Amino acid sequence: MLESFKESLVSALGNKTAFTIPVLGGIPVADSVVVTWIIMALLAALSLLLTRKLSVRSPGKVQTALEWAVQLLNDFVRSNLGAHWRPFAPWLGTVALYIGLSNLIGILGLTPPTKDISVTAALAIMSMLLIYGAQFRYNGLLGGLKKFAEPMPLLLPINLMEVAIRPLALCMRLFGNILGAFIIMEMLKFLVPVILPAVFSIYFDLFDGLIQTVVFVFLTTLFTGEGIQEET
């Protein structure tokens, strides 16, 4: 019985391929990509539905909540990025919505895409491009390079190592948290099939998932702000 559980756990941990596109020798489309498409469709439909009739003068309840959320995001990004916050807010909001929904969708029984290390790697790569792209975009080539020698030139090797470490840590943190939670939940379901998993699911799926979303977006914003801002 334990052996069979181990087998099932290992198979559950692997990333299953949903289907294969039969071109270029077969491109595998993983489960996580399919779930991502579902999330995308959900988000697009929701935003279409919620922003259907926005009114400047008399906002309804839904619009007020929506505006509050967007304002929260804008304020958060502005306080961390300073003057150039505007182009970053939608991207960070998109990432937050995507990771949040990905972490929460485990409740519905779907495989969370963030359990796939390739997805978190893609997210981390995008974050890295954002962080260092912004650093060079707003400081120029020379200024961007100079940022690596701050706060003192002695830290140059550490700053250069951070270019690789930051996205790796972002990727691994998100992946490890979700995978760990997933494994613990599988074990709990194996040991006590009723009630207890539901209670722990609140912590591992809801709380931890949202915390990891906040951490990912927060760290990305913080690193980006570090690269952009003039002082220190």
Binding residues for other proteins, rule: CB under 8 A, are 10, 13-15, 27-30, 32-33, 36-37, 40, 43-44, 47-48, 50-51, 54-57, 59, 63, 66-67, 70-71, 74, 89-91, 93-95, 97-98, 113, 116-119, 121-123, 125-126, 169, 172-173, 175-177, 179-180, 214-215, 218-219, 222
CB of residue 172 vs other proteins: minimum separation in angstroms?
6
Q: Whose Cβ is closer to other proteins: residue 37's or residue 203's? A: 37
End-to-end CA distance of the chain, in Å? 59
CB of residue 181 vs other proteins: minimum separation in angstroms?
11
Answer left, alpha or beta for residue 19, where phi above 0 means left and psi between -120 and 50 means alpha: beta
Instruction: List all residues 6 or more positions away from 72 whose beta carbon is below 8 Å from its beta carbon.
Output: none
CB of residue 105 vs other proteins: minimum separation in angstroms?
14
Amino acid letter, 81: L
- Annotate 41-80 with b (16+ C-beta within 10 A) or e (fewer): eeeeeeeeeeeeeeeeeeeeeebeebeeeeeebbebbeeb
Q: Whose Cβ is closer to other proteins: residue 95's or residue 228's? A: 95
Answer left, alpha or beta for residue 16, where phi above 0 means left and psi between -120 and 50 means alpha: beta
Say how many C-beta atoms besides its own lie within 10 A of residue 35's C-beta: 24
CB of residue 27 vs other proteins: minimum separation in angstroms?
5
CB of residue 202 vs other proteins: minimum separation in angstroms?
20
Q: Whose Cβ is closer to other proteins: residue 81's or residue 97's? A: 97
